[in-house]
Structure 1
Amino acid sequence: MRARALFRGSALLALVASLSLAGCGDEGAQANHGAPVEVGAVELSAQPVNIRSTLPGRVSAQRVAEVRPQVTGIIQRRLFTEGAEVEEGQQLYQIDDALYQSAYKKADAAMASAKLLADRYARLLADKAVSRQQYDDALSTYRQTAADVETARVNLAYTKVKSPIAGRIGRSSVTEGALVTNGQAQYLAIVTQLDPIYVDVTQSSVELLRLKRELASGELAPGKEGEASLELVLEDGTTYPHRGTLKFGEVNVDKGTGSVTLRAAFPNPERLLLPGMFVHVRVDEGVRPNAVLVPQQAVSRDPAGKAVVWVVKDQKATQREIVVNRTIGNTWLVEAGLAPGESVVTEGAQKLRMLPPNVPVVAKPASNVRVDLGDAATAAPSPRAN
Structure 2
Amino acid sequence: MKKKYLIPLLAAGLISLLFFNCKDNANSGGQANRPPASFPVAVLQPKTITGFESYPTHIEGIVSSAVRAKVSGYVKNVLVDEGQPVRKGQTLFKLETQALSQDADAAKARVNVAQVEVDKIKPLVDQNIISAVQLETAKANLAQAKANYNSIIANIDYATVKSPVDGYVGTINFRQGALIGPNDPTPLTMVSDISQVYAFFSMNEISYLDFLQKTPGKTLDEKIKNFPKVQLILANGETYSEEGTIQTASAQLNNETGTVNFRAVFDNPNQLLTNGNSGTIRIPTTYKDAVVIPQAATFEEQNKILVYKLKPDNTVSAAVIKVKADIDNLYVVASGLKNSDTIVANGVGKLRSEMPITPQQTAYDSIVKPIKTLFRN
Matches within 5 A, 1:7-86: 38-86=38-86
SS in 1 for 2:213: helix
Cα distance, 1:50–1:140 mapped onto 2, change above 3 Å: farther
SS of structure 1 residue aligned to 2:334: strand
Aligned pair 1:358/2:354, yes or no? Answer: yes
Partner of 1:301: 300
C-alpha spacing 1:308/1:178, structure 2 compared with 1 (3 Å)? same
Q: Structure 1 308/121 Cα, relative in aligned 2: closer, same or farther at 3 Å?
A: farther
Distance of 2:146 and 2:103 partners within structure 1: 13
Q: 2:368 aligned to 353, 366, 371, which one?
A: 371
Letter in 1 for 2:60: S
For 1:54, what is the secondary structure of its paired residue? strand
Superposition TM-score, scaled by structure 1 size: 0.74
Instruction: State the TM-score, normalizing by the size of structure 2.
Output: 0.75
Maintained 8 Å contact 2:217/2:226: no
Q: Cα offset for 1:229? A: 0.6
Give the SS at the match of 1:150: helix
Native 8 Å contact 2:293 2:368 kept in 1: no
**Quick one: percent identity of the two aligned structures?**
25
Consecutive unaligned residues of structure 2, counting only runs of 5 or more, are 1-24, 373-377
The answer as to whether partners of 2:59 and 2:200 remain within 8 angstroms in 1 is: yes
Q: 1:330 to 1:107 in 2, by over 3 A?
A: same
Could you list the runs of 5+ residues in structure 1 that have no partner in the other structure? 1-23, 376-386
CA radius of gyration, larger in? 2
Matched position secondary structure for 2:147: helix
Name the CA shift for 1:151/1:350 in 2 (closer, same or farther; >3 Å): same
Distance 2:73 2:134 in 1: 40
Q: Provide Cα deviations, 1:186-217, integer angstroms capped at 9, x if missing partner.
A: 43333344332222222222012012212359
Partner Cα distance (1:314, 1:132) in 2: 119
Partner of residue 339, structure 2: 340
Q: How do 1:278-289 residues align onto structure 2 when only pairs under 5 Å count? A: 278-285=278-285, 287-289=286-288
| CA distance in structure 2 between the partners assigned to 1:347 and 1:374 by the alignment | 16
Report the alpha carbon displacement of residue 185 of structure 1 after superposing the two structures with TM.
3.0
Counterpart for residue 226 of structure 1: 226
**Matched residues in 2 for 1:340 and 1:273: separation?**
44
Q: What is the rounded CA distance, in whole Å, between the counterparts of 1:176 and 1:159 in structure 2?
A: 14
Alignment RMSD (CA, Å): 3.8
Q: State the partner residue of 1:91.
A: 91
Q: Partners of 2:121 and 2:361 in 1: how far apart?
A: 110
Describe the shift of the 1:99–1:364 C-alpha distance in structure 2 as closer, same or farther (beyond 3 A): same
SS at 2:276's partner residue? coil
Once residues 269 and 75 of structure 2 are traced to their aligned partners in structure 1, the CA distance between those partners, rounded to angstroms, is: 33
| Alpha carbons 1:40, 1:367 under 8 Å: kept | no
Matches within 5 A, 1:250-265: 250-265=250-265
